[in-house]
Chains A and B, each alone.
Chain A
């Protein structure tokens, strides 16, 4: 099902987002975006033995922002910290079968959220 400017994949993730919520005592939390500008994402990570064991999110934003958040959590689960940090916004957009040009910033927000959450993890777990 496509709607407006979005691919079927975006709509599927938007209507049925994966991994919504939070993680109690998360190992890393990232918060990026600005609601006054239309979107904001908070990402919670559980890290075990150097791998992303679990990821959950809460997002304020448009269809593309919510779909990007959902897709991102699916992509990073099981990845090593280094692999998760290497995920790019274009990979998120590609996994969603593309985003409209004006919505690319939503995938950028997802990429920034992982980096922010992993920075938080590194700060809490030095060495």
Chain B
């Protein structure tokens, strides 16, 4: 059976060059990068080379890169690191209703610790209005955290404008750029943000490595207390394999990102157009253009998302309904509900996220499969066959 992977926003396949680059660190190069002897020295150099690749990609200084175990840990470090900064008197944080659980649940925790959080809404197309951020600012606001791109809809947030507003008020700005990295330009030099989260496994690196860009001069309270690693900002012996893999992934992005983005965008657009041409009663969840080039989130009216997903899985197609973390629950996606989606339509939402390795054959096979599966499920849907007056 053909296998089609359309779930790149969940995770991406490991690039062969990443797999090759980490091989020495699964064998002979085992040293602790903090050791000053021969075993540690080469490994330290590999970690710092990888850090330089990340810095070169964003155009920041290597010392502005704090390596973590994941995007989630980097989000925790950004929020808690600012909240618990020594001498920090402010108790208010502004974020949005459509952030990743790594932000939402960290904010919920901070609310139990005496902080106040304002969750600004999004419009019907899933985008935060910078003016709503301005209105949410309070005298004691310490941080604004708005994602660069949404994981479920791919919607691009106006982080430039939001950042200018917050910085104008002297407030720190964080952006979760886990989904945006590698898909849209994120020039650190001109971006009005102080903190930026990224993750290795979303860009064809390995799971278990992420990072936080921290603007030079900004102090953060560590979340993982320990040794002097990462200049005291994150304790723990480095995940050398994950970091080296992430460095290679960033170096590949620097070379190939423009071409890859153009290719993926073409496939996504073809896929989306064909579905709209062939399947009636489709709803696009998200903005038609202000969207990641690889993502399309659609509600197939009258049918339920998990039933679609399982049928497509049986045909070899991997996609997602809601975010991966919530697919075990009965709740419709809180992101789609925050956008004001019809609750029944939100139950029938699927996210397709394309990426490296997808082909035109994947697209045409999947369009046929989706059309068939939707027709099959609509045939058994009571919503598609309204009850006659009795």
Contacts and interface: CB of A to CB of B under 8 A. Distances in A.
Nearest to A69: B380
A15 B344 CA distance: 22
A68 interface: no
Nearest to B305: A62
Q: How big is the B interface, by class?
A: 20 to 34
B383 interface: yes
Interface of B: 302-304, 306-307, 310-311, 313-314, 328-330, 332, 343-344, 347, 379-383, 385, 387, 390
B343 A60 contact: no
A40 B382 contact: yes
Contacts of B303: 60
Nearest to B390: A29
A59 B304 CA distance: 10
A114 to B, nearest CB: 16
A51 to B, nearest CB: 22
A85 B347 CA distance: 30
A45 B301 CA distance: 27
**Majority-rule SS of B interface residues:** loop
Nearest to A14: B310
A54 interface: no
B304 A3 contact: no
Contacts of A38: 304, 330, 332, 347
Contacts of A58: 380-382, 385
A17 B380 contact: yes
Given A36-B347, A102-B329, A60 B382 contact: yes
B330 A60 contact: no
Contacts of A20: 379-380
A63 interface: yes
Given A35-B347, A38-B330, A63 B307 contact: yes
A66 B382 contact: no
List the 6 closest pairs (A to B, CB-CB), nearest first.
A36-B343, A62-B306, A58-B382, A42-B382, A35-B344, A20-B380
Contact of B387 (A5, A29, A39, A63): A29
B56 to A, nearest CB: 41
B248 to A, nearest CB: 33
A9 interface: no
Given A3-B314, A36-B344, A102-B330, A59 B380 contact: yes
A61 B307 contact: yes
A41 interface: yes
Nearest to B388: A22
A31 interface: yes
Most buried by A among B302, B303, B382: B382
B359 to A, nearest CB: 25
A4 interface: yes
A105 interface: yes
Nearest to B385: A58
A66 B307 contact: yes
A22 B382 CA distance: 10
A60 B381 contact: yes
B194 to A, nearest CB: 40
Nearest to B306: A62
B381 A63 contact: no
B75 to A, nearest CB: 27
Contacts of A41: 382
B64 to A, nearest CB: 41
